Amino acid sequence: MNIQVRPDTAPASSTTVRPAIADCDIHPARKGSKDLYPYLAKRWHAHLETYGGHPYQGMMSGPPYPKAQPNASRRDAYPPDGGPQGSSLSFMQQQHLDPNNVALGVLCPLNTGQGLRNQDLSAALASAINDWQIAEWTGKDSRLKASVVVANEDGPAAAAEIRRRAGDKNFVQVLLLSRNVEPLGQRRYWPIYQAAEEAGLPIGVHAFGFGGNPITASGWPSYYIEEMVGHSQCQQAALSSIVLEGVLERFPKLKMIMIEAGFGWVPSLAWRLDRAWARMRSEVPDVKRPPSEYIRDHIFWTTQPMEDPERRDHLFDVIDWIGWDRLLFATDYPHWDFDEPSRVLPAGVGDAQREAFFLGNARRLFGIAG
Amino acid sequence: MSRHVIAPVEELPPGARKFVTIDDRPIAVFNIKGEFFGLLNRCPHQGAALCEGPLIGLAQSSNPGEIEYTRHGEILRCPWHGWEFDIRTGQSYCDPRKFRVRAYPVNVEPGSAVVKGPYVAETIAVSIENDYVVVDL
């Protein structure tokens, strides 16, 4: 047992002010299971207490794999006033937003009830979590911006929620997850893309989800470490589907952000797609341009977790292909694989690229002036 | 080199750890089954407060299927990314050539020796009849 004689150490104070950054993947948590009740019709209180939620994934009493740290979060991120990591705005401000000079923080709530089999419940929970984000987070700290959480398996309900939030400056993106009932390009999801395009909101596709399909393309793995690397496979499948089903041809103004699945794999996927498209384009005539062009025009990538190759020029080669204007810095606070902004980028990056990487790209994409 | 009195021994029982700042350096002192260790409280990977992590053992495999769990309570696991460090040496297990956390020698000294100096004990009232945990910087 570890007994702490002095319970905590204050973060080292620094006299130099860090440059302002955007953090495009922050996870706010709920203090308890009833936090959403003020935003939910009474009917659903009773429903949740009687039946609970019911995801597509079977035999699930918790996350599909145990995580590397409690709640998959930093051990130093428990708020001193109790509750799980990420559940206290004041502690998030004190531990992360203020010392790291976060000028723009995008909230990506997880475990929200997106994608439940009871789609009315899913839609009610999604709307509640959106109200909760405004009441508890963005309304109390103007640096924070919310995601429109939607009942992703119910296209019309999801589109209605997006239209309800359209024009509300608290929201900067629509949030989907990578693991769904079907690959994300399929037409059941098109109403979401249509509504997002109309609202001028990019779609963020965050790793995870409980669509019922195995976590890797070859089945359910044994270890959490396999789940972690499986996220990039899943994003590749999701992105291939989005491109090859013609989503980006159909919704030409749509922007998408691939969140928390790395980006080192992007060039090779694009090369493979282009090669296959050159030979089999007659199968997907809706896809009028080489897939790599759609990817470069429409897709942004959050940085965390960044690939960390032994030779930094390999990382720079990948970013040069993707574009320095396409990466959005993210820490994943308060999750355990948090990236520390001052340590994340190797030396050798010019000032303009650094500014774009840490702040400029996010401000342009989300339309938020400096 | 300077020597700093951290605490009376009874304030740091086995299993306890104490965080101090000496010369602007965040340091944690651990009592592990009666042995004392001091480490810089900053992970050399991304700068987390390393010493707030849990103490675990070392899971190693000499052959596939044969797993040994040794050094119980002597491996410090970073609260962020889970990198493992040997509390005795500060050596990292994931990249021992590149990453090491600074380790500081910790001793227990009798009050009579501590009173004589050359120790620095700014916040601890030292009495001759007690033993004290001392860090060498």
Give me the average pLDDT of each 10-residue run along chain A (370 residues): 51 70 98 95 96 82 80 94 97 98 98 93 98 98 98 97 98 97 97 98 95 89 93 96 98 98 96 98 97 98 92 95 97 96 92 97 94
In tens, the pLDDT along B84-132 reads: 999 999 999 988 888 999 999 999 999 998 888 888 887 888 888 899 9
Q: Sheet of A203-206: strands edge to edge?
A: A21-26, A102-107, A144-149, A171-177, A203-206, A256-259, A299-302, A327-328
Q: Say yes or no for a CB contact (<8 Å) between B13 and A76.
A: no
Q: Which tokens in the block code for residue A58?
A: 């079977």
For chain A, counts of helices (H) and of strands (E):
13, 9
Query: How far apart are the CA of A68 and the nearest CA of chain B, in angstroms?
Result: 7
CA pair distance B83, A356, nearest whole angstrom: 30
Question: Model confidence over B39-82: pLDDT tens digits?
Answer: 999 999 999 999 999 999 999 999 999 999 999 999 999 999 99
CA dihedral B41, B44, B48, B50 (to 10 degrees): -40
In this predicted structure, what is the pLDDT of residue A60? 65
What is the rounded distance in angstroms from the CA atom of residue A200 to the CA atom of residue A166?
8
Residue among A5, A75, A339 whose CB faces B17 most closely: A5
Q: For the whole model, what pTM was predicted?
A: 0.92
Give the dihedral sign, CA A86/A90/A94/A99. Answer: positive
Which pLDDT value is given to residue B49? 95
Helix (H, G, I), strand (E, B) or coil at A159: helix
pLDDT at B9 > cutoff 80:
yes
Cα separation, A141 vs B27, whole angstroms: 34
State how beta strands A21-26 and A3-4 pair. Answer: unpaired
Contact between residue B31 and residue A1 where contact means Cβ atoms under 8 Å apart:
no
CB contact at 8 A, A229 and A70: no
A1 touches chain B (CB under 8 A): yes
Instruction: Say yes or no: A61 contacts chain B, CB-CB below 8 A.
Output: no
Q: Cβ contact (<8 Å) for B17 and A3?
A: yes
Q: Does A14 touch chain B (CB under 8 A)?
A: no
pLDDT at A7: 46
Nearest CA-CA partner of B16 in B48, B55, B57, B58: B55
On whether any CB of chain A is under 8 Å from the CB of B73, the answer is no
CB–CB of B16 and A336 under 8 A? no
Q: How far apart are CA A199 and CA A195, in angstroms?
A: 6
> Does B70 contact chain A (CB < 8 Å)?
no
Q: Does B67 touch chain A (CB under 8 A)?
A: no
Tell if the CB–CB gap between B54 and A4 is shorter than 8 Å. no
Nearest chain B residue to A75 by CA distance is B79
Return residues 310-349 of A near B (CB < 8 Å): 336-340, 342-344
The CA dihedral of B121, B43, A83, A60, to the nearest 10 degrees, is: -150
Q: What DSSP assignment string belongs to A249-265? A: HHSTT--EEEESS-STT
**pLDDT, position A59:** 67
CB contact (8 A) between residue A69 and residue B79: yes
Tokens standing for residue B99: 């990453």
The residue in chain A having the minimum alpha-carbon distance to the alpha carbon of residue B82 is: A68
Contact criterion met (CB < 8 Å) for A2 and B55 = yes
Residue A281 burial (CB count, 10 A): 15
Is B59 touching A (CB cutoff 8 A)?
no
Q: Which residues of B touch A11 (CB under 8 A)?
A: 49
Q: How far is A316 from chain B (nearest CA, A)?
A: 20
Instruction: Give the pLDDT score at A1.
Output: 45
- Helix, strand, coil shares, percent, chain B, to 5: 10, 50, 40
Contact criterion met (CB below 8 Å) for A141 and A103: no
- B26 with A9: CB under 8 angstroms? yes
Chain A touched by B17 (CB under 8 Å): yes
Query: Which DSSP helix (H) or strand (E) runs through A238?
Result: helix A224-244
The DSSP letter of residue B126 is: -
**Could you tell me the sign of the dihedral formed by the alpha carbons of A303, A306, A312, A316, in that order?**
negative
Q: What is the pLDDT of residue A353?
A: 96
- How far separated are the first and last CA of chain A, in Å rounded? 48
Q: Hey, are the CB atoms on A3 and B82 less than 8 Å from each other?
A: no
pLDDT for residue A68: 86
One DSSP character per residue, chain B reads --EEEEEEGGGS-TTEEEEEEETTEEEEEEEETTEEEEEESS-TTT---GGGSPEEEEEEEEETTEEEEEEEEEEEE-TTT--EEETTT-BBSS-TTT-BPPEE-EEEEEHHHHHHSSEE-SS----TTSEEEEEE-
Gap from A5 CA to chain B (nearest CA, Å): 5
How does DSSP classify residue A366? H
Q: Kindly report the nearest CA distance between residue B54 and chain A, in angstroms.
A: 8
